[in-house]
Amino acid sequence: MAIGSREQTHGRRPVIAAESGLSGAIAGDGGGLLSPDEPTAFELINDGGSARVLLVCDHASRRIPRRLDNLGLDELALRRHIACDIGAVDVARRLSALLDAPAILASYSRLVVDCNRHLSDPTSILAVSDGEFVPGNHDLSKQDKELRAEAIFHPYHDGIQQRLERFLEQGTVPALIAVHSFTPIFNRMSRPWQIGILWDADPRIPVPLMEKLRRIPGVVVGDNEPYSGKAPADYTIDHHAEPAGMPHVSIEVRQDLISAPRGADRWSAILGGVLAEILADDDLYTYYQPGPR
């Protein structure tokens, strides 16, 4: 079923797609959490791009709403990977330009509310993240959590939904590509992959993407590594693309490779080159119909 044929309400009233343009304020005024001079829930870039693709970056920013007083964390903690996917937003911006694709970038830290987790997921708001105690996330009431969801989570996903619906209104079944990054060491284990391709049932983008990347000398690619696209934690793809059968993939790049501009340039160029070949196939832009098992 096409995503445009269903109401996406997140448990609230249906969101009506904007007739022209779209902004982070489309689904509310910040719910009292955000001050009028603070950024809205997401940034939309290259809205008029010619590609039949929407890029998203769920963990693009380490920003904390002023009202939350940095969640009690110091600057050193906020510069860690617990606050955002280091380098991911730089890759997303570069891919947006290279592919001429619109991109939606989350404006607030995953520590406030993780836009790539279902709100019922225990990891949606972490009181301890990779060993870091987060004072501002302890003993939150239901109202506290709802305030964050109304200000950030719902507007971000409403923005994605509305941009996808604009493609559909123009007669295009769009592709959705999520950009993330991962730490080079986790639980004292070194991760050998430079790029991870996360996917579940629809192979149309991930399989040729892995094949093309592996032909590049020196590039080490993980198939559902270091995380799996089959896991329920991948909310954005699972919610917006998979149920509708839109072509999609989630891409993870190792953070030490893209933490500086030169690295972000290099890996964006690598990804952009192979993605451009895959996205040039007109047959891609249809709803996925799995064959018999």
Whether the pLDDT of residue 95 is over 90: the answer is yes
Half-sphere exposure of 254 (CA within 13 A, CB side): 17
Residue ranges making up the domain that contains 248: 3-279
Which among 162, 166, 176, 179 has a CA at the least distance from the CA of 25? Answer: 162
Residue 230 covered by a domain: yes
Joined together, the tokens standing for residue 219 give: 């590039």
DSSP, collapsed to helix, strand or coil, labels residue 189 as: strand
Average pLDDT, the chain: 90
Which among 22, 91, 49, 83 has a CA at the least distance from the CA of 258? Answer: 91
Torsion of CA 113, 114, 120, 123, to 10 degrees: -100
DSSP, collapsed to helix, strand or coil, labels residue 93 as: helix
pTM, two decimals, is 0.90
DSSP, collapsed to helix, strand or coil, labels residue 53 as: strand
What is the tally of structural domains in the chain?
1
Residue 199 covered by a domain: yes
Q: What is the CATH number of the domain that holds 17?
A: 3.40.630.40
Cis, peptide link before residue 122, omega less than 30° from 0: no
8 A C-beta contact, residue 27 and residue 153? no
Q: Where are the alpha helices (DSSP H) in the chain?
A: 75-78, 88-99, 142-148, 154-169, 206-214, 235-240, 255-258, 261-279
Which contiguous run of DSSP H or E holds residue 103? strand 103-106
Residue 89 covered by a domain: yes
Half-sphere exposure of 126 (CA within 13 A, CB side): 15
Q: Tens digits of per-residue pLDDT, 173-229?
A: 999 999 999 999 988 889 999 999 999 999 999 999 999 999 999 999 999 999 999
Residue 292 covered by a domain: no
Which pLDDT belongs to residue 42?
98
Which pLDDT belongs to residue 125?
98
User: How many Cβ atoms from other residues are within 10 Å of residue 81's Cβ?
Assistant: 21
User: How many Cβ atoms from other residues are within 10 Å of residue 241's Cβ?
Assistant: 26
pLDDT-based confidence at residue 2 (cuts at 50, 70, 90): very low
Residue 287 covered by a domain: no
Q: Tens digits of per-residue pLDDT, 12-55?
A: 333 333 333 454 444 445 558 999 999 999 999 999 999 999 99
Joined together, the tokens standing for residue 78 give: 């906020």
pLDDT-based confidence at residue 233 (cuts at 50, 70, 90): confident
Residue 124 covered by a domain: yes
CA distances from 163 to 21, 184, 215, 282 (A): 9, 33, 34, 20
Residue 284 covered by a domain: no
Residue 263 covered by a domain: yes
Joined together, the tokens standing for residue 275 give: 């993605």
CA 136 from chain centre, in angstroms, equals 24
Whether the pLDDT of residue 3 is over 90: the answer is no
Which pLDDT belongs to residue 14?
33
Which pLDDT belongs to residue 30?
55
pLDDT-based confidence at residue 292 (cuts at 50, 70, 90): low
